[in-house]
Chain A
């Protein structure tokens, strides 16, 4: 690229876009880092595939041979019980060999140490890395650094993205509400620090939801959040009015110390989902939460355990969605590799 070819004389030297990184030339998924940049067709394919895999959980033998002989490494630089367990289960149900690594020390998660960890794992010839990391962009960074035929699945990076959580939420919504076109969805809580919310907003918009709302006090709203494609509410009753889906977010206890909120009790009074506040939503509205729940802080137990709660469905759907994403990304890599081999042998033959 020549600097002087560019208008305004400013070099556009951005890193590759999320779509460029995640999809191959044929539009097949090769990494799953972010909802951003993925077309509706890919998201729908993930949901359809996950729907298919849900049946495997109900079968007597909960296994298919799709990834037999493949290795999936779970790299968790940050604690997570539920996400890690569902990824492990998903990989095992696909018959993959699974390697679990908890790399919790912060020094190992940075710079050279992170690179050392990656090249060592690469040498173990894993086919996919499932990555959970405390820094935004970590999965993107890893995808840019390692050999291109290892699929990277983002299991949550900093405040940036948690795309499989968003997709399991989409699967849950679709199974209960059908198509997205007429849906109003409210996401309530700590939007500022939530990677889940960012991915959910993007997924809902890509899938064509009628309206996406976020509800939080100003201290828990990122600057310019409306540019993500959502309506912003700071009052719960107004934010929940006539919505079809309410997604509550987990509130981290440390937010109380950061001068973001005065107290749990005040937060619960203003933003907690109770039977009373839920009455503002559509009578058929469903309630979701990525877990784990802070009962009496974000949500009343009667609502969390009530008939409109889909929280346990989300967990079940999480396994199916992760199976779908793992199988699609690893098979995308395999197909791309086979094509490259084919091109090379044709080239040699010629």
Chain B
């Protein structure tokens, strides 16, 4: 279908666009920006005055619960949640059941996704077999099957010799390694940031050193092996410094932070609200401010959802035994706009952080390129909506924002490869 989207504010950080442009599309392909070509005749004109159009978002941090505990979320429900949140592509994490550690699991997932998911999947595979940290996964096969990077998530690789071999082998096949820094022995059975608040509430703490000790080890081995790496879900000020130093030393490394870490601190744990039980834990205001600064100065490249839907019972328990995680794909945009409204972040920078993964992981999208398929998000920045069981699409309603009035909503995601039908 030939469509013209006119009068919208368009932001495309990659190409430095931020202003009112008309977009002309044919079968999902961007034909022109600005004036329509002489021979172009749109079948549909969408006047988007007052709306914002950006490249659709790409999320590096969503956990699909499918295959696995589908009562927490299915490919269908979470894919719909992603679309509702403005995402065209998600890079689901491999902690499904079975773990995404073989090419056949990846192919099965991608086949099913083509049948049932509205959103595009670019999965992360397991770095070690079963995420157990002992044996290397069949990395080359995983890459061939469609994995865009490999990760062991927060599961420990205790033997540093094995970790080194993982990185060397990934380097051999030019695969990006995504890691979440947490030293298991230091984290122990902790469920909250180790600090005065956890001490008062009697919650076992996870010290900042659980992150920084592991991060330091990884960075040294990344430097040694030369592998391309991405550190996910930073939580502490000191970790931001370590990444900043590593980038300055020339390591091929990028980083992300979850939206929750940019908003909240461990003060939210007062009253034991289990919806704030997250991994890594919400840390201090100093940490949150450093994470925000890291996003602004580019040390942190992406803001991710860390979307982890749960059934109600998973959070209906005392804080420490509730399951960690928050459903978040659908609230990413309004929470991001809240940071913009508070002048902590510019709007183009926000969009850049929500689309960064395209460039880093070699995916389509994330920018407006004439002649190419393009995924677009149409956003009403002023629309207010209340987060509720009725308005959430995700199967998980485990968010502390239930009942809150948020501003900014994605009206539509146009997927280029569907031809916008």
Q: What residues make up the interface of A, taking CB atoms closer than 8 Å to B? A: 1-4, 7-18, 21, 36, 109-112, 114-115, 133, 135-138, 140-141, 145, 157-161, 195, 198, 222-225, 227-228
Contacts and interface: CB of A to CB of B under 8 A. Distances in A.
B221 interface: no
Contacts of A11: 263-264, 338, 400-401, 404
A2 B405 contact: yes
B272 A3 contact: no
A195 to B, nearest CB: 6
18 contacts: A1-B403, A3-B404, A3-B407, A4-B341, A17-B270, A110-B321, A111-B313, A115-B313, A115-B316, A137-B203, A137-B272, A160-B201, A160-B203, A222-B205, A224-B195, A225-B196, A225-B199, A228-B200
Contacts of B342: 7-9
Contact of A157 (B202, B205, B275, B344): B202
Contact of A136 (B201, B264, B314, B404): B201
A138 to B, nearest CB: 4
B396 interface: no
Contact of B202 (A3, A114, A161): A161
Given A14-B267, A15-B271, A15-B272, A224 B320 contact: no
B312 to A, nearest CB: 9
A21 B270 CA distance: 12
Interface in B242-294: 263-264, 267-275
Contacts of B274: 141
A307 B19 CA distance: 84
Nearest to B273: A15
B362 interface: no
A255 to B, nearest CB: 14
Interface of B: 194-205, 207, 263-264, 267-275, 313-314, 316-322, 334, 338-339, 341-342, 344, 384, 400-401, 403-407
A9 B341 contact: yes
Contacts of A222: 198-199, 205
B291 to A, nearest CB: 12
Nearest to B268: A14
Given A4-B338, A112-B313, A225-B199, A137 B318 contact: yes
What secondary structure prevails in chain B residues at the interface with A?
A: mixed
Given A1-B405, A3-B405, A136-B319, A17 B199 contact: no
Q: Which 6 A-B pairs have the closest CB atoms?
A: A15-B271, A224-B196, A160-B202, A159-B202, A137-B272, A222-B199
B404 A111 contact: no
Contacts of A224: 195-197, 199
Contacts of B407: 2-4
Contacts of A2: 384, 404-405, 407
Contact of B199 (A115, A157, A223): A223
Given A10-B264, A224-B197, A227-B199, 20 more contacts: A1-B403, A2-B407, A9-B339, A11-B263, A13-B273, A13-B401, A13-B404, A14-B267, A14-B270, A15-B271, A114-B317, A137-B272, A141-B317, A157-B202, A158-B320, A160-B203, A161-B202, A223-B207, A225-B199, A228-B200
A195 B202 contact: yes
A111 B317 contact: yes
Given A13-B273, A223-B205, A138 B318 contact: yes
Among A17, A111, A160, max chain B CB count under 10 A is at: A111
A135 B205 contact: no
B316 A112 contact: yes
B201 to A, nearest CB: 6
A254 to B, nearest CB: 13
B199 A18 contact: no
A195 B201 CA distance: 9
A18 to B, nearest CB: 7
